A and B are shown apart, each in its own frame.
Chain A
Amino acid sequence: MQEDTLATVDTLTQTYSDKWSGTTGVEEANAFVQLMSSNELIYVVLGVTLIIWFVLLFFLFRVDQKVSRLEEEIKSQ
């Protein structure tokens, strides 16, 4: 895949290959884990992005509701 460019020197593997078990044993794992482990782990990046998106969305919904409540309070005065 990525080789011979300065930016892609892999210093991690050497240090962590003993400690990180990566996606070994995927064959026995459930379908979700198998899917997430496929395609060079792009689904994991998607997962991280979607978590951020959903948290921000949740926050936006809450702010929206809070403003609605304030509006009603002012209207009722």
Chain B
Amino acid sequence: MKPWKYVISAWMTLVITGGFLINIPDIPILEQTARNLFFHVPMWTTMFSMFLISFWFSIKYLNNFEREADIKASSAASVGMVFGICGLLTGSLWARFTWGSWWTFAEPKMNLAALAMMIYVAYFVLRSAFDDEEKRAKLSAVYNIFAVTTIPFLLYVVPRKLTSLHPGADGNPAFSEITSPELRYILYPAMIGFIAFAYWIYTIIRRYKTVQYNIHNS
């Protein structure tokens, strides 16, 4: 087992412990759920990081047409999806007890995040539609390049301009201006930790798919 995996394990254990135990500012309505910042928000940064990895290998695949790149792209996309689903579920739970509803269609970031997930569901549907592996790899790589470019717009650019219940929207001060520094001592390490953790899961999926591919083609 490589040492960086132990580093991630220890790092994330510290992040979780710190997230529960640090003193946080007294924010009405949010109360203790302000700690969700450490767990809910990194889900989205992690999802986007995984989609960027996926994007990178899709471009690579279209350059060299090597099967390895396609395996990497699809593995990263699937790990990104898992974190996106966690982001939606945790956001919904958090919303119930702070905004007062599990889901609201008045909230653009929430709905556009769901839309972003659906765009990636389509990626996997597209993949499953081909028996010919080369065709599958090529078309899904092209689709993935389109899919990933929608993410920053759906999650950051468009919600920033609309009325939103999320902080940092509708011309309100951005996240960096309204979040107290104490929260950031955990938030940024949490983002790094979750991304590294997701990368670890990605390597396992990638290796599994490589083994699977080698067995099927031997």
CB nearest to A64 among chain B residues:
B204
Q: How large is the interface on A (under 10, 10 to 19, 20 to 34, 35 or more residues)?
A: 20 to 34
CB nearest to A52 among chain B residues:
B16
Assuming the A-B contacts A61-B5, A74-B214, are A53 and B208 also in contact, with contact meaning beta carbons closer than 8 angstroms in the complex?
no
Is A67 in contact with B9, judged by CB distance below 8 angstroms? no
- Quick check: is A42 within 8 A (CB to CB) of the other chain? yes
> A71 contacts which of B5, B21, B97, B211 (Cβ < 8 Å)?
B211
Q: How many A-B residue pairs have CB under 8 A?
A: 43
Q: A12 vs B86: C-alpha distance in the bound complex, in angstroms?
A: 31
Report whether over half of chain B's contact residues are helix, strand or loop; otherwise say mixed.
helix
Q: A42 vs B16: C-alpha distance in the bound complex, in angstroms?
A: 13
A24-38 interface with B by 8 A CB criterion: none
Q: A60 vs B197: C-alpha distance in the bound complex, in angstroms?
A: 10
Is B13 in contact with A70, judged by CB distance below 8 angstroms? no
> B211 contacts which of A45, A64, A70 (Cβ < 8 Å)?
A70
In the assembled complex, the CB of A56 is this many whole angstroms from the nearest CB of chain B, namely 10
State how many residues of chain B have any CB contact under 8 Å with chain A.
20
- Quick check: is A23 within 8 A (CB to CB) of the other chain? no
Q: A67 vs B16: C-alpha distance in the bound complex, in angstroms?
A: 28
Residues on A with beta carbons closer than 8 Å to the beta carbon of B207: 67-68, 71
Residues on A with beta carbons closer than 8 Å to the beta carbon of B218: 74, 77
- Quick check: is B129 within 8 A (CB to CB) of the other chain? no
Is B204 in contact with A50, judged by CB distance below 8 angstroms? no
B contact set with A: CB distance below 8 Å: 1, 5, 9, 12-13, 16-17, 20-21, 97, 200-201, 204, 207-208, 210-211, 214-215, 218
In the complex, 13 of the A-B residue pairs with CB atoms within 8 angstroms, ordered by the A residue number, are A42-B20, A42-B21, A46-B17, A50-B17, A53-B16, A54-B13, A61-B1, A64-B1, A67-B208, A70-B211, A71-B207, A71-B210, A74-B214
